[in-house]
C-alpha cells in the first residue's frame, strides 16, 4: 500500500499529478515539468521530499561507527556540516547514496525513499556498539526543499537566521514560521537552495506560507519530473540508475567521495582494486546528435558492437534543449568526444560521449 506524506492534501489542492514513487504517492508535476524546471533555474521551486528516509543517530561513537560503513569520511565533519556519502557492499556496489548532517550532538542520515527499509536493516545489522542509538522518522517527519537563485530572498523572511551567511553543505537550527526546523544549504538540482527538516504536523502550514509569500518572486511548487531533469543536467546520480548494488561509486564517477586513507570500511578493498586496474565500465554523458530521445535501457554500440546501455535520459532545457543521457559503457567507448550509437527501436542514432555535468551554475561551490 502506498503511503502519503504530510503534504499530500496540499498536492491535491494544487492539482498535482500524483504517481507512486519510493512507496509514497508523490507529485510528478503541477503546471508542467518544463515550466517547473524553468522556475528552479531562473527563480525558485518548492519540492516535497518527505518520502526520503530520515534516521537520527545519537551516541559518542556514531562517527567512528559510520566510518566503517561508508566510503567518505564522517569523523572529520565539522559541527553543523553536511556531507555526501555512500554505503557499499563487499563488492563495492552501492547500497545507497546519502547525506550525513552533523546537527549539534546528533547526526541525521537522509537516505533514498526506495532504500529506506533496506538501509534501516543494514544499519541495525551492523549496530554492535551500545554507544550508538538509531531513530527512524521515515514517513513521519517532513522535508521541504526550496531551490533556485531566489531561494535566499524568498526563505529569509520566514526564518530567524541569516541564510546568506550559511555555507554550502552546512546546516543550522531555526524556527520557520515559528516551527522548529533544521535548515541546510543542500539540494539536488544544481542550483542554490535549502532543505527544511520539520515535523509532519506543521509542515502544511510551512508549505502554504512559503508558496503564498513567494508567489510574487516566482516561487512555484515542483514535482519529481522537474527534479529528475534538473539533477540529470547537473550530473547528479539517481540511485537505481547511475548507482546500484552492481554499479560502484568508482564507475559512477564519484571517486572524489572515496577516502581510501580511512581505516577499513565495507567495500574498500574492492573499490581500491577497481581504481588500480582501471578496466571497469563507467558512467559517461551522452549528447544525441538528433531529436531522438535516449531512454533508460537502450543499448549503446560503437561501430555496431555493443558497449553499454543508457541509464537516464531527458531533454535538457539548460543545455540548448538537446537530448542528453547518461550511459554505462566499456572503458574503450568512454573517451570524451567518441561517437557512439544509441539503438532506438531497431534504428541506430548517433550520440557523442560528453563530460558531466551538462549544466553548472555560474557561481560554483566545491564539494566537501
What pLDDT score was predicted for residue 367?
Answer: 42
Q: Classify burial at 22, counting beta carbons within 10 Å of its beta carbon; exposed 0-12, middle 13-18, buried 19 or more.
A: middle
Task: Give 204-217 pLDDT, tens digit per residue.
Answer: 999 999 999 999 99
Torsion of CA 259, 261, 263, 264, to 10 degrees: 60
pLDDT of residue 75: 97
With a cut of 50, say whether residue 365 has pLDDT above it: no
> Is a pLDDT exceeding 70 seen at residue 329?
yes
User: Is residue 130 scored above 80 in pLDDT?
Assistant: no
Q: Per residue in 148-171, is it b (16+ CB within 10 Å) or e — as a string?
A: bbbbbebbeebbebebeebebbbb
- Using the predicted structure, report yes or no on whether residue 35 has a pLDDT greater than 50: yes
Q: What percent of the chain has pLDDT over 90?
A: 97
pLDDT of residue 274 exceeding 50: yes
Domains of the chain, earliest start first:
8-49+139-233 (3.30.1360.120), 52-137+248-278 (3.30.70.1400), 281-354 (2.40.30.110)
Q: What is the mean pLDDT of residues 169-188?
A: 97
Q: Is the pLDDT of residue 364 over 80?
A: no
Q: How confident is the model at residue 129 (pLDDT cuts 50, 70, 90)?
A: confident
Amino acid at each position: 500500500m502506498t503511503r502519503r506524506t504530510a503534504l499530500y492534501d496540499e498536492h491535491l489542492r494544487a492539482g498535482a499529478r500524483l504517481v507512486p514513487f519510493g512507496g509514497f504517492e508523490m507529485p510528478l508535476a503541477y503546471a508542467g515539468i518544463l515550466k517547473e524546471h524553468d522556475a528552479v533555474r531562473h527563480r525558485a521551486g518548492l519540492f516535497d521530499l518527505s518520502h526520503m528516509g530520515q534516521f537520527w543517530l545519537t551516541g559518542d561513537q556514531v562517527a567512528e561507527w559510520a566510518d566503517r560503513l561508508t566510503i567518505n569520511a564522517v569523523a572529520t565533519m565539522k559541527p553543523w556540516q553536511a556531507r555526501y556519502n555512500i554505503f557499499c557492499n563487499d563488492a563495492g556496489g552501492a547500497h545507497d547514496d546519502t547525506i550525513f548532517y552533523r546537527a549539534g550532538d546528533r547526526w541525521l542520515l537522509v537516505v533514498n525513499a526506495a532504500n529506506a527499509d533496506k538501509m534501516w536493516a543494514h544499519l541495525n545489522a551492523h549496530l554492535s556498539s551500545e554507544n550508538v542509538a538509531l531513530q527512524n522518522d521515515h514517513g513521519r517527519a517532513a522535508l521541504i526543499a526550496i531551490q533556485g537563485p531566489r531561494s535566499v530572498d524568498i526563505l529569509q523572511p520566514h526564518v530567524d537566521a541569516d541564510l546568506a551567511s550559511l555555507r554550502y553543505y552546512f546546516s543550522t537550527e531555526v524556527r520557520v514560521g515559528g516551527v522548529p526546523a533544521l535548515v541546510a544549504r543542500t539540494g539536488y538540482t544544481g542550483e542554490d537552495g535549502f532543505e527544511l527538516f520539520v515535523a509532519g504536523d506543521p509542515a502544511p502550514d510551512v508549505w502554504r506560507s512559503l508558496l503564498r509569500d513567494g508567489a510574487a518572486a516566482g516561487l512555484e511548487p515542483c514535482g519529481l519530473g522537474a527534479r529528475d531533469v534538473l539533477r540529470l543536467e547537473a550530473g547528479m546520480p539517481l540511485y537505481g540508475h547511475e548507482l546500484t548494488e552492481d554499479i560502484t561509486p568508482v564507475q559512477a564517477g564519484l571517486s572524489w567521495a572515496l577516502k581510501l586513507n580511512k581505516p577499513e570500511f565495507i567495500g574498500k578493498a574492492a573499490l581500491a582494486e577497481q581504481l588500480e586496474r582501471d578496466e571497469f565500465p563507467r558512467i559517461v554523458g551522452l549528447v544525441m546528435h538528433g531529436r531522438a530521445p535516449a531512454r533508460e535501457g537502450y543499448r549503446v554500440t560503437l561501430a555496431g558492437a555493443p558497449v553499454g546501455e543508457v541509464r537516464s535520459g531527458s531533454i535538457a532545457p539548460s543545455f540548448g534543449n538537446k537530448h542528453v543521457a547518461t550511459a554505462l559503457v566499456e572503458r574503450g567507448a568512454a573517451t570524451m568526444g567518441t561517437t557512439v550509437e544509441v539503438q532506438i527501436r531497431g534504428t541506430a542514432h548517433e550520440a557523442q560521449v560528453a563530460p558531466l555535468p551538462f549544466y553548472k551554475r555560474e557561481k560554483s561551490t566545491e564539494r566537501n
